[in-house]
Amino acid sequence: MVMLALLVSGCGELSYKRGASTQDLEAAKKSCQSAGSEKAAERCLEDQGWTVKKLDDVDLFATAGVSPDNRNPSAFITPEFVPVVPAQSAAPAPSAVAAAAAAGPATDKPVVPPVSPPPPSSPLDVYTISSWWKMGADREALAADTLDCVATLGPAHKPNETTQQVTRGFVVCMHAKGWKALRAVAG
């Protein structure tokens, strides 16, 4: 059984090693911290048998193209890259609304409030998934891998079957098992 130790840190990292515990990971990290740089410490962990994945570096979601004519594969339109953003309300800040109202009548240039960088990815970020895909796998394999990931990660990562919402940590765990998540398109 694969043990996953989910580290909730600013950079968002997932480290796991077959048969290891969280205490084993902490001990390995302490011994590798003397390696110097972050890359050297990561290499040290890998040399000890740990798999280290940065949550921001993993391509977790599948993409789908759209074609007006399903008989002509060359007509497929590949979607532009869309950054992964957690499913949360994106209401404008009251100060931005007040600034836009105070600006007066419309000018040639639209008033755009400054955009702050997105917060780092968290293992508890929530996504809505419309389907899961894995070559050669069936419904029973999906159910087994789902139960395994929930058992490994804990109850906070249990998928909500009604709303089809899952955590980023769960998606990372399923991705490690070979599954691809197809995100639901906001209608």
Residues 6+ apart with CB under 8 A from 22: 5
Q: Do the domain assignments include residue 166?
A: yes
Q: Do the domain assignments include residue 87?
A: no
Q: Do the domain assignments include residue 106?
A: no
The reply to whether 66 and 52 lie within a common domain is no
Q: Do the domain assignments include residue 170?
A: yes
Residues 6+ apart with CB under 8 A from 110: none
User: What are the pLDDT digits (tens) for 48-94?
Assistant: 888 877 665 556 666 665 555 555 555 545 555 445 555 555 555 55
Q: Do the domain assignments include residue 114?
A: no
The reply to whether 174 and 146 lie within a common domain is yes
The reply to whether 75 and 9 lie within a common domain is no
The reply to whether 49 and 131 lie within a common domain is no
Report the C-alpha gap between 27 and 15 in whole angstroms: 13
Tell me which residue of 183, 162, 176 sits closest to 83, measured CA to CA.
183
The reply to whether 131 and 73 lie within a common domain is yes
Tell me the average pLDDT across 114-119. Answer: 71
The reply to whether 29 and 78 lie within a common domain is no
> Structurally, how many domains does the chain consist of?
2
User: What are the pLDDT digits (tens) for 20-29?
Assistant: 888 888 888 8
User: What are the pLDDT digits (tens) for 135-165?
Assistant: 889 999 999 999 999 999 999 999 998 888 9
Residues 6+ apart with CB under 8 A from 177: 134, 145, 148, 149
User: What are the pLDDT digits (tens) for 92-101?
Assistant: 555 555 555 5
Residues 6+ apart with CB under 8 A from 87: 126, 127, 128, 165
The residue segments making up the domain with residue 37 are: 2-56
Report the C-alpha gap between 176 and 153 in whole angstroms: 13
The reply to whether 125 and 170 lie within a common domain is yes
The reply to whether 63 and 22 lie within a common domain is no
- From residue 133, give the alpha-carbon distance in Å to each of 70, 77, 139: 21, 21, 10
The reply to whether 9 and 70 lie within a common domain is no
The reply to whether 71 and 148 lie within a common domain is yes
Q: Do the domain assignments include residue 151?
A: yes
Q: Do the domain assignments include residue 172?
A: yes
Q: Do the domain assignments include residue 150?
A: yes
